[in-house]
Amino acid sequence: MNSSLKNKFDGIIFDLDGTLWDSTGNVAKAWQAALGSVDYIQEEMTQERVRSITGMTYDSIFDKLFPNLTTEQRAEVQSLCARHELEILHEKGGELYPGLDETLAYLSKNYKLFIVSNCQSGYIEVFFKISRMEHYFAGHQCFGTKGQPKAENIKDIVNDHNLTSPVYIGDTMGDYSSATTAGVPFIFCDYGFGKVEGGQIATISNFGELTDLL
């Protein structure tokens, strides 16, 4: 690991899905239950399909998954999926990545920690409830709060908390693009759901590697 990154930042902003946990298995079950409650969709919602759209804004997800629905039908499905998703995650949560607690405890001693995700409102709060790790974080922002792109939410965190040298950590090309647009360097998690071919300042293959890197 490149030790030159130590003490270079005053804040670390994390993506959530594919970076801190994997909830796609239970999300797929929730969305399948939602689809089963309407009579105009005859499709199976698999974990692979959920993973394929992870990282997109919540509105864009349903535009991509169901392009042939009417606007009204798509809005109904999105609302049903959102409700079922939060219900099942409140009960079962997602899979926390190994070393999460220990690594966040270490990082929080030297950095302000944040989450910026393209998820719906309430989703980050479910992560906090399940993981019991909210105390490590100084703030969070999501697409559901203001309906704005991830880059703008990253900028909001930077400005609201007076960060002068933050870094963003995520697992998709969308994360990289958002961080770059916000003027924030990017660390890539290659254990997540996406690929980033270049431009990141570092790559990690498990979450615990951040203790050596930062």
Share of the chain above pLDDT 70, in %: 99
Rg (CA), the chain: 17
Q: Which CATH number do you get for residue 184?
A: 3.40.50.1000
Mean of per-residue pLDDT scores for the chain: 95
Kind plus residue range of the DSSP H or E element containing 12: strand 11-14
Residue 135 and residue 174 in one domain:
yes
Is 105 found in the same domain as 169?
yes
CB atoms within 10 A of CB 151: 19
pTM of the predicted model over 0.85: yes
Is the domain of 194 the same as that of 118? yes
| Domain end residue (candidates: 54, 74, 92) | 92
**Confidence band, pLDDT 50/70/90 cuts, at residue 1:** very low
End residue of a domain, out of 92, 113, 134: 92
3-state SS of 61-79?
HHHHHCCCCCHHHHHHHHH
Last-in-domain residue among 92, 126, 147:
92
Shared domain check, 48 and 151: no
Q: Which two tokens stand for residue 143?
A: 């697409």
Instruction: With beta carbons less than 8 A apart as the criterion, state whether 155 and 3 touch.
Output: no
Examine the domain organization and report whether 179 and 114 are in the same domain.
yes
Task: Please give the Cα distance from 122 to 131 (Å, whole number).
Answer: 14
Domain tally for the chain? 2
Range(s) of the domain holding residue 8: 3-22+96-213
Closest CA to 19 of 84, 96, 124, 110: 96
Is residue 200 domain-shared with residue 112, that is, in the same domain? yes
Same structural domain for residues 55 and 101? no
User: Is 15 found in the same domain as 114?
Assistant: yes
| 198 and 126 housed in the same domain | yes
Dihedrals phi, psi of 22, to nearest 5 degrees? -125, 105
Average pLDDT of span 177-185: 98
Do 167 and 78 sit in the same domain of this protein?
no
Average pLDDT over residues 29-56: 94
Q: Is 132 exposed, middle or buried (0-12, 13-18, 19+ CB in 10 A)?
A: exposed
- My answer on whether 127 and 208 are in the same domain is yes
> Which conformational region is residue 169 in: left (phi greater than 0), alpha (psi within -120 to 50 degrees), or beta?
beta
Q: Which residue has the tokens 């590697």?
A: 209
125 and 208 housed in the same domain:
yes
pLDDT at 3 over 80: no
- Other CB atoms within 10 Å distance of the CB of residue 185: 18
HSE-CB at 103 with a 13 A cutoff on CA atoms is: 18
- For 164-190, what is the mean pLDDT? 97
Q: How confident is the model at residue 55 (pLDDT cuts 50, 70, 90)?
A: confident
